[in-house]
Structure 1
Amino acid sequence: MELLIALAVGTMTAVGIYLILRRRAFPVIVGLSMLSYACNVFIFASGRVVAGLPPILSKGAPDYTDPMPQALVLTAIVISFGMTAVIVMMALGSFLQSGHDKVDMGEDAE
């Protein structure tokens, strides 16, 4: 199971970095989303989530599940949604102003 999660995180990270290096706005936005998903899966997987165990240590339970990674992932989801909305609005404004969605900032940009 750890190998599957490691492969999923690695694949999402690689796809995210590949998409961020594209010259269009939409792939960059999707790449940033993929990177945030990879970070969320990594944090969630490192939290030792076990089904059937309580999130707080009690007298009858021999072990517990750490609730901190779950709270961090939930917070990161909300922040990444807001960040994605702002980036989409910036890309839309850039597209409406310039007529294209190229990310290139060089001298040959049209």
Structure 2
Amino acid sequence: MNVLFICSRNQWRSPTAEQVFRRYPSLVVRSAGTSRNAKKKVSHDLLHWADVICVMEQKHKNRLVAEYGRIIEYKSLHVLDIPDDYLFMDPELVTIFLDTVPERLGLVIEEKAGR
């Protein structure tokens, strides 16, 4: 499953999600940002590549719908409701991802039971 994680600047949240989930063999993950100043900007190619899109906030979904509505119309898109309050690999952010994303993606994460 190709999963694209999106936040604003592709600086803290979406790269953390990419790092956390890149080790799972059933997933191929990438990250991007909606801002013009993003380290890696959302593109048509990334959105076509993705099977599933996970955005951090409703505003990210709104921007995607406005700019790329036709591309994402039939994609699975999840709003994670994670505010921009965390730095890269913040342990609390990692925990939030592990507690929410696997269920949204229909994954069974063995490591979760051991935490």
Shorter-chain TM range is under 0.3
Task: Tell me the TM-score normalised to structure 2 length.
Answer: 0.27
Task: Tell me the TM-score normalised to structure 1 length.
Answer: 0.28
> Relative to total residues, which structure has the larger strand share, 1 or 2?
2
Greater RCO (CA < 8 Å, at least 6 residues apart): 2
Q: Which has the larger radius of gyration?
A: 1
